[in-house]
């Protein structure tokens, strides 16, 4: 199976802005990278200053903060991803390893099913991102705002069209590239999950090997292949962790801030308004983004823990001592489930998802109480 080909759509998107890692990038690629980085930097800095000027106006401040937080987070993700370019290229090369791509035909369904789930979720997530950006872009048509993101530091005058186009480009670029980074991670996690399922089925098939192959050497070779496959999966998870750990931490912090702000704004805006529809779509997008990482991180943990059960369910009783020892090696390593983390601080799991939501709600409750006091006075 060609796993690298799965990343072709994301490579195309990231190549447009020049951020797909390359060993020897062409000068035009470097120009695109610098241009995109400068545009995003200018956009984030200008609106960060706008936030400072609006800090005494809570509703306007939160409007701007909610919209610019994901682009600012993407800027940091961009820098982190660029810093791990060589590690990412190593990861892509590792996906070509024979022990990972040489999957028996009868077991390939495990991989294809896992990737099909990733494709469906990815399409849904990209649809949410597209709708959110579209609603932000047409925001001025339904409100008194002149721009998608409020900018009142000075009168734009003849630069109004330029600022409008700049905001559209920066927001669309951040959404496209950030979602591509997320879907690369999603695809990688689904590959890991599928590989673990294949390994589990191979271990459970030991009974068929014992029945069909009379030579003990062939059984030993089969199980040693399972040990090697398990080792390759562990290495694959380590490579993904190296590239994405800090990026996921940025996602955690971003989600906490945005979900908190959106929850607060959903309370204070009118129910039958365009602002409510925009914030609701934005909330669904952020929950989907965070949920993808946590759900599939949890799946990796559960399926890797099931490797030990697969060893128990194999025909180890009728196997030779050497085969039993190798199965024992797999079982001992499986006592520590495979997992990915957010900056080494939190394991990607459903528990961490609920923790982020709980933290966002705690900040939301605090903001609501402070807002209530300020409106009273």
- pLDDT of amino acid 237: 92
Q: Tell me phi and psi for residue 274, to 5 degrees.
A: -65, -35
- Which token pair is 265? 């704004």
- Which token pair is 214? 């009379």
Alpha-carbon span 354 to 252, nearest angstrom: 11
SS3 342: strand
Which secondary structure element, helix H or strand E, spans residue 341, and what is its range? strand 341-342
Q: Tell me phi and psi for residue 346, to 5 degrees.
A: -140, 135
Task: Give the HSE-up count for residue 312: Cα atoms under 13 Å, Cβ half-sphere.
Answer: 7
Instruction: Identify the segments of the chain with pLDDT beneath 70.
Output: 1, 55-59, 145, 153-154, 156, 207-216, 316-319, 367-368, 370-377
Quick: pLDDT tens for 267-305: 777 777 777 888 888 888 888 888 888 998 999 998 888
Q: Which of 331, 332, 356, 326 is nearest to 342 (CA)?
A: 356
- Report CA dihedral (350, 354, 357, 359) to the nearest 10 degrees: -130
Alpha-carbon span 335 to 204, nearest angstrom: 18
- Which token pair is 30? 């470097």
* Longest alpha-carbon distance in the chain: 86
- Residues in CB range of 365: below 8 A, 6 or more apart: none
- Residues in CB range of 316: below 8 A, 6 or more apart: 206, 323, 324, 327
Quick: pLDDT tens for 205-226: 776 665 555 556 777 787 788 8
């Amino acid at each position: 199976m060609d796993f690298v080909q799965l990343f072709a759509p994301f490579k195309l998107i990231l190549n447009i802005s020049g951020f797909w890692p390359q060993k020897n990038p062409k000068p035009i690629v470097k120009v695109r990278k610098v241009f995109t980085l400068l545009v995003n930097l200018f956009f984030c800095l200008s609106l960060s200053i706008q936030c400072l000027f609006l800090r005494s106006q809570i509703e306007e401040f939160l409007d701007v903060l909610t919209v610019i937080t994901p682009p600012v987070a993407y800027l940091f993700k961009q820098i982190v991803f660029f810093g791990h370019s060589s590690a990412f290229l190593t990861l892509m090369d590792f996906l070509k390893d024979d022990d990972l791509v040489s999957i028996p035909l009868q077991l390939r369904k495990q991989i294809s099913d896992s990737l099909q789930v990733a494709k469906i979720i990815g399409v849904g997530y990209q649809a949410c991102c597209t709708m959110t950006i579209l609603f932000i872009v047409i925001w001025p048509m339904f409100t008194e705002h002149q721009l998608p993101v409020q900018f009142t530091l000075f009168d734009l005058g003849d630069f109004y069209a330029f600022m409008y186009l700049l905001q559209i480009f920066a927001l669309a670029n951040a959404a496209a590239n950030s979602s591509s980074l997320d879907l690369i991670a999603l695809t990688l996690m689904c590959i890991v999950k599928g590989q673990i399922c294949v390994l589990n089925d191979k271990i459970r098939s030991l009974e068929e090997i014992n029945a069909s192959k009379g030579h003990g050497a062939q059984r030993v070779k089969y199980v040693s292949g399972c040990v090697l496959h398990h080792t390759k999966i562990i290495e694959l998870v380590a490579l993904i962790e190296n590239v994405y750990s800090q990026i996921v931490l940025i996602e955690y912090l971003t989600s906490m801030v945005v979900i908190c702000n959106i929850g607060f704004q959903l309370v204070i805006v009118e129910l039958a308004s365009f602002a409510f529809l925009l914030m609701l779509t934005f909330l669904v997008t952020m929950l989907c983004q965070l949920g993808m990482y946590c759900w599939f991180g949890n799946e990796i943990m559960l399926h890797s823990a099931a490797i030990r059960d697969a060893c128990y369910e194999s025909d180890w009783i009728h196997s030779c001592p050497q085969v039993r020892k190798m199965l024992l090696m797999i079982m001992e390593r499986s006592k520590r489930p495979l997992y990915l983390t957010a900056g080494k601080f939190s394991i990607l799991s459903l528990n961490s998802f609920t923790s982020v939501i709980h933290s966002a709600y705690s900040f939301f409750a605090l903001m609501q109480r402070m807002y209530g006091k300020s409106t009273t006075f």
